[in-house]
C-alpha cells in the first residue's frame, strides 16, 4: 500500500489540464474574463456624445469605453462636475444611482487625456 503510482498520477494531471485547455478553446465566452462589465458598480467611463442642460436639469449621453453601450444620465443642480462641465467628445467618469430605472448622475469627472 504505497499509494497511487507516479505515472498514473502524472497522466491524470495531464489529462485534466488538457481537458481544461480544450474547454477554454471551444467555449471562450464562458471561462474568459468578463469584458462586458463597467469599471465599477454604478460607475461608467466613456465619451460624451450628447450634453443637454436647461436651467437646472438635463441629460448626458455617454458611450461606454468598456462595453460600447450608450448610457443616458439625468443631471440636476446638485451634480458635482470635476473640474468643469464636460464637452462633447471628452472622456468622463460618471458615478450614478439607479432610481426606478432612471440613471441619475451624482458625480461627473473629466478624465485627462494621456
C-alpha 43/C-alpha 64 separation (Å) is 10
pTM above 0.85, yes or no: no
| Under 8 Å between Cβ of 55 and 74 | no
| Total domains in the fold of the chain | 2
By DSSP bridging, strand 70-75 and strand 91-99 are: unpaired
pLDDT digits (tens, 9 = 90+) for 41-77: 899 999 999 999 887 889 999 999 989 999 999 998 8
The answer as to whether 82 is a domain residue is yes
Q: In terms of residue numbers, what domain contains 16?
A: 1-32
Does 61 lie in the same domain as 19?
Answer: no
Distance, C-alpha 90 to centroid of its chain = 18
C-alpha 104/C-alpha 94 separation (Å) is 10
Amino acid at each position: 500500500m504505497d499509494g497511487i503510482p507516479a505515472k498514473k498520477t502524472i497522466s491524470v494531471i495531464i489529462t485534466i489540464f488538457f481537458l481544461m485547455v480544450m474547454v477554454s478553446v471551444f467555449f471562450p465566452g464562458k471561462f474568459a474574463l468578463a469584458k462586458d462589465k463597467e469599471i465599477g458598480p454604478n460607475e461608467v467611463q466613456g465619451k460624451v456624445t450628447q450634453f443637454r442642460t436647461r436651467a437646472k436639469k438635463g441629460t448626458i449621453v455617454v458611450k461606454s469605453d468598456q462595453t460600447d453601450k450608450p448610457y443616458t444620465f439625468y443631471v440636476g443642480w446638485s451634480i458635482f462636475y470635476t473640474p468643469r462641465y464636460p464637452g462633447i467628445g471628452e472622456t468622463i467618469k460618471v458615478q450614478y444611482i439607479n432610481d426606478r430605472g432612471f440613471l441619475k448622475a451624482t458625480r461627473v469627472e473629466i478624465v485627462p487625456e494621456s
